């Protein structure tokens, strides 16, 4: 099993990419297939990485709904023809900022404790 730091940094990287992808707003997200594809792919990758985090690290942040993030990956992968892009936008706008903050804090805590081998920020 890999160190949680690898997955935390991977999640942080995906969140940063999503943030860059959607920087020009909802209209561009809804009209650009390239931005949609890149955003959905990073959401899927990020969701998969959360599934690999240890139970211990997840329990350190009970405010994050890790199971819902994992379930969202299944929606993205298995319901690709029926994805509601406006709902995806809402999820990104509502849920990404607290997740990003939590992940960055977890990375910082591990870095300060000397257990973080990678650090993107």
Handedness of CA 43, 45, 47, 49 (dihedral sign): negative
Q: At what angle do helices 33-52 and 66-78 cross, to 10 degrees?
A: 130
**Among residues 17, 78, 94, 119, which one is catalytic?**
78
**Among residues 20, 73, 94, 119, which one is catalytic?**
73
CA-CA distance, 84 to 8, in Å (whole number)?
27
In contact, 121 and 23? CB cutoff 8 Å? no
Residue 78 annotated among the catalytic residues of the structure: yes
Residue 110 annotated among the catalytic residues of the structure: no
The SS3 assignment for 56 reads: helix
The DSSP 8-state label assigned to residue 24 in this structure reads: T
Nearest-Å Rg of the Cα atoms of the chain is 14
Would you name the residues annotated as active-site residues? 73, 78
């Amino acid at each position: 099993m890999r160190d949680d730091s690898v997955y935390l940094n991977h999640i942080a990287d995906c969140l940063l990419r999503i943030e860059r992808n959607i920087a020009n707003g909802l209209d561009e997200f809804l009209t650009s297939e390239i931005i949609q594809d890149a955003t959905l792919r990073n959401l899927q990758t990020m969701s998969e990485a959360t599934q690999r985090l240890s139970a211990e690290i997840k329990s350190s942040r009970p405010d994050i709904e890790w199971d819902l993030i994992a379930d969202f990956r299944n929606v993205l992968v298995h319901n690709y023809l029926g994805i509601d892009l406006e709902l995806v936008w809402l999820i990104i706008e509502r849920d990404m900022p607290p997740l990003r903050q939590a992940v960055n804090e977890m990375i910082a805590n591990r870095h300060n404790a000397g257990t973080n081998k990678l650090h993107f920020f």
